[in-house]
Amino acid sequence: MHLRELAWDGFRNLEVRRLALSPGFNVFEGENAQGKTNVLEAAWWLATLRPLRAARLTELVRFGAKTAQVEAQIERDALVHKLAVRVVEGARQSLREGKLAKPADYFGALAVVVFTPDDAGLVRAAPAERRRYLDRAIFTGRPGHLQTTATHKRALEARNELLRTGAASDVVEAFEWTLAGHAAALVAARRRFIEDFAPQVAETFSEIAGEGVTARVVYRPSVDSDAPEAHRAALEDDRARDRERGHTQRGPQADDLGIEVQGRSGRLYASQGQQRALVLALKIAEIRLLEALFALTPVLLLDDVSSELDPRRNERLFALLHGYRGQVLITTTDAAVLRVPRAARLFRVRAGQVDAEGEVAERTGA
């Protein structure tokens, strides 16, 4: 799977462009604040319909412009798909094969995994951020997971609303059956993913950090069951207290993804370097899992990774990338110091202008 062509119009600071990308490595080189991350964000937005950094859609629209659009041709199993996403009057529209498509019909053509400097915070972040990461990682391989999380969220909000408006207990109780079903399905999906994911993370981390340094990811469900009955019982037990507080305390909305190094909580004890290595291991493990389970080679978006890692970990990262068969889009302030595993297409990014500049020569040795 790879992006053959990536185009944008009115997106962030980027000047209108249609780029022909290499199915292998693509390097975007430029100084600070020129638009490198914006290029990756364009690809990310297209693949996930979520902005990478923006809190609001309007932030994606070029200052002074009315609409923003990103589109791409994706080659997958010898078929070409067309995806486009745009912001029109503050609202998002997604198109597949030129026709407006709801998310359920839109996803499935393009899978991406991103690694940005912001990700380093994941280990120490609040549980909500790790839950988001977990659900997004599941979604990359199984786009239907979006539905699982969305239906749970809607049901949860509905129960909270019933509690806050003082609905009678039999009304709340009847509704709890519905919520419990969605909660159990979400826990089951997260559990199933972690079963496959955890061994990949452990193995990848020791490759990056060195023999004998161990890491573990552990799913910590707030209601530890994928049986609807267990969730229903928890809701019933909590009902009076939940009513007082005005929201539902236990359930998948309170789960966490524990990340441990050397048997201890990474959140409490991981050093900065360890946090980065952990997040890198998570991302590489995601890719390996997608390859193993779905024979999927996602497009890899690497934002300024080298500046975040020490030389030894950098070397390991590029050694791993060396063997990667998929497409990679990578940004850097200096292509000369990147250890690009094979001839890459080079693009210069200058004040929002992205121009093809030929190839970066292969650099393998030290």
Q: Are 139 and 146 in contact (CB under 8 A)?
A: yes
Q: Is 306 in the site for ligand ATP (CB under 6 A)?
A: no
- Asked whether position 332 contacts Mg ion by CB under 5 A, the answer is no
| Binding of Mg ion by 38 (CB under 5 A) | no
- Distance separating alpha carbons of residues 104 and 150, to the nearest angstrom: 11
Query: How far from the centroid of its chain's Cα atoms is residue 18's Cα?
Result: 25
CB of 106 to ligand ATP, least distance (A): 23
Taking the least distance from each CB to ligand ATP, the nearer of 42 and 285 is 42
The answer to the question of residue 37 lying near Mg ion (CB under 5 A) is yes
Residue 34 contact, options Mg ion, ligand ATP, none, Cβ 5-8 Å cut-off depending on partner type? ligand ATP
Told to check if 13 binds ligand ATP by CB under 6 A, we report: yes
If contact means CB under 5 to 8 A according to the sort of partner, which of ligand ATP, Mg ion, none does residue 35 touch?
ligand ATP
Identify which of residues 117 and 127 has a Cβ nearer to ligand ATP in the complex: 117
Q: Which does 62 bind (CB under 5 to 8 A by kind): Mg ion, ligand ATP, none?
A: ligand ATP
Helix or strand or coil: residue 282? helix
Q: Supply the minimum distance, in Å, between the C-beta of residue 64 and Mg ion.
A: 22
- Of 115 and 139, CB closest to ligand ATP: 115
Stretch that binds ligand ATP, among 60-68, 89-97, 140-148, 286-294 (CB under 6 A): 60-68
Q: What pairs with residue 114 in β-bridges?
A: 301
318 alpha carbon, distance to own chain's centre: 21
Distances (CA, A) of 44 to 34, 205, 226, 228: 18, 25, 32, 35
Contacts of 63 (CB under 8 A, 6+ apart): 13
- Based on C-alpha coordinates, what's the Rg of the chain? 22
Which one, 15 or 238, has the nearer CB to Mg ion?
A: 15
The Cα 267–Cα 269 span in angstroms is 6
132, HSE (Cβ side, Cα atoms, 13 Å): 11
Shorter beta-carbon distance to Mg ion: residue 37 or 248: 37
Q: How far is the CB of 59 from ligand ATP (least distance, A)?
A: 6
Of 161 and 357, nearer to ligand ATP (C-beta) is: 357
Q: Which of 2, 17, 62, 152 binds ligand ATP (CB under 6 A)?
A: 62
CB 90 → ligand ATP: shortest distance, Å?
Answer: 13
Contact characters 322-361, ligand ATP, x per CB under 6 A: -----------x---------------x------------
Whole-Å CA distances, 57 to 89, 245, 272? 10, 32, 31
Distance CA 54, CA 48 (A): 13
Shortest distance (Å) from residue 52 CB to ligand ATP? 10
Judge whether 85 and 92 are in contact, CB under 8 Å. yes
Q: Which of 314, 338, 342, 316 is nearest to 327 (CA)?
A: 342
Distance CA 134, CA 216 (A): 14
CB of 152 to ligand ATP, least distance (A): 33
Q: How far is CA 253 from CA 153, 315, 331, in A?
A: 8, 38, 35
Residue of 63, 77, 102, 365 that binds ligand ATP (CB under 6 A):
63
- Least distance in angstroms from the C-beta of 346 to ligand ATP: 15
Q: Which residues of 63-83 are buried (b: 16+ CB within 10 A; e: fewer)?
A: eeeeebbbbbbbbeeeeebeb
Rounded-to-integer distance, Cα 294 and Cα 142, Å: 9
Site string for ligand ATP, 16-55 (x = CB under 6 A): --------------x-xxxxxxx-----------------
Binding site for ligand ATP (CB under 6 A): 12-13, 30, 32-38, 59, 61-63, 304, 333, 349
Residues of this chain that bind Mg ion (CB under 5 A):
37
